[in-house]
Amino acid sequence: MSQRLSVRFALVLSTLLGAVTPARAALKVVTSTEDLASLAREIGGDRIGVESIARGYQDPHFVEAKPSFILKLHSADLLIVVGRELEIGWLPPLLQQSRNEKIQAGSRGYLDASLTVRILDIPQGQITRAMGDVHPLGNPHYWLDPGNGRRIAQAIQAKLSEIQPADAAFFAQRFADFDRRLGEAEKRWDASLAPYKGTKIVTYHRSWPNFVERFGLDVIGYVEPKPGIPPSPQHTIELIAEMKKVKASIILVEPYFDLKTPQSVARETGAKVIVLSPSVGSEKEITDYIHLFEYDVNLLLGALKGTGH
Ligand SMILES: [Zn+2]
C-alpha cells in the first residue's frame, strides 16, 4: 500500500469506526447471577454491557468454574454479587485469578447487592456443622421479594452513577421507569395472591423466605432435612406426618433438584408439586426480573386454585 493510500485507508476506517462506536465505550458489568444482570440492564440500558457468570437454571451455590469466567472478570469495570456467602464456593478463586484490581471486594468496582436489602434468617448464636449449610450472614435468596429487587436496582443506580457520573441523570430516569413498572406489577401480584394468605406450603431448599413473606404464604417444612443436606428417609417420614397434620397443600421445588422425594411426599399427602423458578433465565420465557415474578405468581396461582381453597 502506498503511503497516500494508507493514509486515505486510515481516514476511511476512522470515519467508519466513528459511525459505529459510541462516544464512550460502554461500561463492562459482570454479575454473579442473571437476576442481578437483569436489574443492571434495567438501570444501565445501552450505556453498559452486562454479562452474568451463573445461568438461571443452575444452583447458584454450586457453579462450575470455567476459564471464560476469568476472562470476563479480567476486563470488567464493575462486578455485582449477591453476597451473604451465596457465591462463596466458586467466586473467590475466579476473582483472584482475574487479576483485576478494580473489582476486588472493597474496591469501587465491586458491589455487594445484599447490603441495602431486607435479609431474613440471620442465625442467632453459634453456628455448628450439625446445622447443615446454614448461611451465617442470613438467607442469600433475598432477591425473591420485589421490594428487594427495587432496593438492588437503587443500589445499582447509585453505583453506576458513581463510576460514570456523566450518565447519572440517565440512570436515575431508568430507575424511575423500572420502579413504576415494578410497582404496577406488584399491585397485580398482590391482588391475585391475596385470597390465599396463610396457605401452608413446603419448599425443597430455603430459597423462598422473602418470597413467602412478601406474598403471605406459610412455610411449614422443607424437603431438605437441613439446608444443603439431601433428603433422608427419617426426615421425609416426619415431614409427611407434619404436612398431614397442618394440611400443607403445595411443595415448591427449585428446578435443579431431583423430583423423586417431593413426588413421593406428594403421593402420601395429596399435596401438589410445582417447580418454581428462583431466577431469571431458568425458563426460556423468564427474560427479566419482572417476568420472573409473573411466571412464578401465575404458576403458584394455578396450583393454589387447584387445591380448593
Ligand atoms: Zn441457599
pLDDT value at residue 1: 42
Distance of CA 60 from the midpoint of ligand 1 (Å): 8
Distance of CA 208 from the midpoint of ligand 1 (Å): 9
pLDDT value at residue 38: 98
Distance of CA 130 from the midpoint of ligand 1 (Å): 16
DSSP 283: S
C-alpha cell belonging to residue 275: 417447580
Rounded to two decimals, what is the model's pTM?
A: 0.90
Amino acid (1-letter code) at residue 285: E
Distance of CA 141 from the midpoint of ligand 1 (Å): 6
- C-alpha–C-alpha distance, residues 91 and 6, integer Å: 47
Mean pLDDT by 10 residues, the chain (309 residues): 51 49 78 98 98 96 94 98 96 97 97 97 80 82 98 98 98 98 98 96 97 97 94 98 97 97 98 97 97 98 83
Q: Are 49 and 28 in contact (CB under 8 A)?
A: yes
pLDDT value at residue 125: 77
β-pairing, 48-52 vs 78-81, is unpaired
Amino acid (1-letter code) at residue 86: L
pLDDT value at residue 307: 77
Distance of CA 25 from the midpoint of ligand 1 (Å): 36
Q: Are 233 and 226 in contact (CB under 8 A)?
A: no
pLDDT value at residue 136: 82
Distance of CA 232 from the midpoint of ligand 1 (Å): 18
- C-alpha–C-alpha distance, residues 271 and 243, integer Å: 9
pLDDT value at residue 23: 56
